[in-house]
């Protein structure tokens, strides 16, 4: 691939998509009678734990992988496309699309980097026209099925740096400028490393840190 000069990274949940897609995915599956109400509530608790800083990350990933593994592969793909069209696409704002388009027109290389499993995030990244997607990855066995274990490490917090570094090494890229858009203080390890940190509809903790560091604060929400 051609060498990248400017790399622009976008978080997904509560940044490009003003919601937690994992929770909506579980609710969608529960509406389809594919998982129980108890399972959907268990997934909602993971979100609360994440926001409180008490999430057992490995347990959360195993839960997500177990749900995907319980669905036959062709059905899974069909459901994920329906989930995106019915539940996620209507939430995406013009402001988010316009900002991504501006970077694309500028010739920047666009990556969505998210804690969400890549299989779930893929239709969303495709809709935004991302050049690449970096997300959570489950280990795959010889038959092409999830083993229930995480590949590399969870793509959140410091893990986003690990996943990004893996991609840079694999592709041989060394961009001259990095920009990162995020809403969450959980993304501070990456926000503190990039040249341009832009916070989007941030949580209270990140808003305070952004103000202290003179980082740009913007909103993708419809006013």
Q: How far apart are CA 194 and CA 45, in angstroms?
A: 31
Q: Which region, left, alpha or beta, applies to residue 195 given φ > 0 means left and ψ of -120 to 50 means alpha? A: alpha
Tell the residue number behind the tokens 């986003």, with chain if given: 160
Is 13 catalytic? The answer is yes
Nearest to 115 by CA among 70, 78, 158: 158
CA distance 156 to 166: 14
Among candidate residues 13, 20, 183, 187, the one labeled active-site is: 13
Q: Is 131 a catalytic residue?
A: no
| 198 secondary structure, DSSP code | E
Among the listed residues 11, 108, 183, 187, the single catalytic one is 11
Q: Give catalytic residue positions.
A: 11, 13
């Amino acid at each position: 691939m051609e060498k990248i000069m400017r790399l622009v990274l976008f978080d997904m949940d509560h940044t490009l998509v003003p919601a937690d897609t994992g929770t909506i995915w579980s609710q969608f599956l529960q509406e389809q009678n594919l998982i129980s109400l108890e399972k959907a509530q268990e997934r909602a608790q993971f979100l609360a734990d994440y926001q409180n800083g008490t999430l057992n990350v490995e347990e959360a990933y195993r839960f997500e992988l177990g749900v995907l593994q319980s669905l036959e592969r062709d059905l899974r793909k069909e459901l994920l496309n329906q989930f995106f069209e019915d539940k996620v696409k209507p939430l995406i704002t013009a402001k988010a699309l316009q900002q991504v388009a501006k970077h694309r027109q500028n010739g920047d290389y666009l990556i969505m980097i998210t804690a969400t499993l890549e299989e779930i995030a893929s239709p969303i990244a495709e809709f935004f026209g991302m050049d690449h997607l970096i997300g959570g990855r489950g280990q795959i066995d010889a038959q092409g099925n999830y083993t229930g274990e995480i590949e590399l490490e969870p793509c959140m917090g410091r893990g986003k740096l690990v996943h990004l570094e893996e991609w840079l090494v694999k592709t041989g890229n060394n961009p001259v400028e990095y920009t990162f858009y995020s809403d969450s203080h959980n993304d501070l390890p990456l926000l503190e490393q990039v040249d341009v940190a832009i916070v989007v509809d941030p949580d209270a903790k990140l808003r305070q840190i952004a103000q202290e560091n003179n980082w740009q604060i913007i909103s993708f929400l419809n006013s």
